[in-house]
């Protein structure tokens, strides 16, 4: 069942998702050569707890940290470690939090210092594809319209959509129905309705789409070793489209064209 949230619930979801967005904006600005992914995780946990919230990923199926930190060919679910970031890396930071019984979830991929032009393009196309997906959200539309829009943009730019992981509904649990694949075809499956809350999260490989999970049981990497990027926003369906609950930075607003 896909839940449609009341206005009071949407207010709570907005609060926690804006918190996640704010903390991610800070982490995004701070990520730099010389820092370890564990440094970034510690700061994230501090900020989440200082706001009276709880990390949503820590302890989730045994995941040990507040953020997922996935570097370069790592796609998602990287475990923060003493790995030092170096100039030219790209770092995906995914973070969830729980406040007052409701969940927030968002992800960004950040360039560490100066990166290769292909990496810059991968980040741009992946974030753009997220906004193409968001623009496809409207009441009466279908959940699969989101993935169709994401896929079209990614493939038009010569990159590959990862198929092994999906976006999801979110609310009083981190992962709720529906699953949101990042590929089409659209026009089928459940209809979108006012009050549905969705975490949309394309993962895009510069090379082929195939991924594998490393022996730590978590870290997913591209099989061909190509760079991978991941962006995620949580949105609520409104009468005339949707509201991005995690969007706060001017950069995000400019990309969305709103
Ligand atoms: Mg996430
Ligand atoms: Mg998510």
Structure tokens at 201: 């999260």
Distance 74 CA to ligand 2 centre (A): 16
pLDDT score of 256: 44
Structural domain includes residue 253 = no
Contact 26, 47 (CB under 8 A): yes
Query: Which domain CATH number covers 158?
Result: 3.90.230.10
Structural domain includes residue 61 = yes
> What domain range is 20 assigned to?
7-246
Distance 198 CA to ligand 2 centre (A): 9
Listed residues: CB within 5 A of ion ligand 1 = 94, 105, 107, 232
Structural domain includes residue 52 = yes
Structural domain includes residue 225 = yes
Structural domain includes residue 1 = no
Structural domain includes residue 24 = yes
What is the number of domains present in the chain?
Answer: 1
Nearest bound ligand to the CA of residue 168: 2
Q: Which residues lie across from 236 on neighbouring strands?
A: 197, 243
Nearest bound ligand to the CA of residue 92: 1
Contact 37, 110 (CB under 8 A): no
Distance 232 CA to ligand 2 centre (A): 7
Structure tokens at 150: 């994401």
Nearest bound ligand to the CA of residue 197: 2
DSSP strand E in 29-183: where?
54-55, 67-71, 74-76, 90-99, 102-111, 160-161, 167-169, 176-180
Neighbours of 117 (CB within 10 A): 7
35-94 pLDDT tens trace: 999 999 999 999 999 999 999 999 999 999 999 999 999 999 999 999 999 999 999 999
Strand 167-169 versus strand 211-213 pairing type: unpaired
pLDDT under 70: residue ranges of the chain: 248-258
Structural domain includes residue 170 = yes
Q: Which residues lie across from 142 on neighbouring strands?
A: 191
Residue 74's alpha-carbon distances to 20, 104, 141, 146, in angstroms, are: 22, 23, 33, 24
Alpha-carbon span 184 to 35, nearest angstrom: 38
Structural domain includes residue 251 = no
């Amino acid at each position: 069942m896909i839940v449609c949230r009341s206005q009071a619930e949407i207010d709570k979801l907005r609060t926690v998702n804006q918190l996640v967005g704010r903390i991610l904006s800070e982490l995004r600005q701070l990520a730099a050569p010389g820092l370890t992914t564990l440094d970034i995780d510690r700061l994230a946990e501090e900020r989440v707890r200082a706001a009276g919230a709880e990390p949503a990923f820590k302890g989730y199926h045994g995941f040990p940290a507040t953020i997922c930190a996935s570097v370069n060919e790592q796609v998602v679910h990287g475990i923060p470690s003493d790995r030092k970031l170096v100039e030219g890396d790209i770092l995906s930071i995914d973070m969830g939090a729980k406040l007052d019984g409701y969940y927030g979830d968002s992800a960004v991929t950040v360039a560490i210092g100066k990166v290769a032009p292909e990496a810059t393009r991968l980040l741009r196309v992946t974030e753009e594809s997220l906004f193409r997906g968001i623009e496809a959200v409207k009441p009466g539309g279908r959940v699969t319209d989101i993935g169709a829009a994401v896929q079209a943009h990614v493939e038009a730019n010569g990159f590959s959509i990862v198929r092994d992981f999906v976006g999801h509904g979110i609310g009083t649990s981190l992962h709720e129905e529906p699953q949101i694949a990042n590929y089409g075809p659209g026009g089928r499956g459940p209809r979108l309705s006012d009050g549905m809350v969705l975490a949309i999260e394309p993962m895009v490989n510069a090379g082929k789409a195939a991924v594998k999970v490393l022996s730590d049981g978590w870290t997913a990497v591209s099989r061909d070793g190509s760079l991978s990027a991941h962006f995620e926003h949580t949105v609520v369906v409104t009468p005339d489209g949707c509201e991005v609950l995690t969007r706060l930075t001017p950069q995000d607003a400019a990309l969305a064209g709103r």
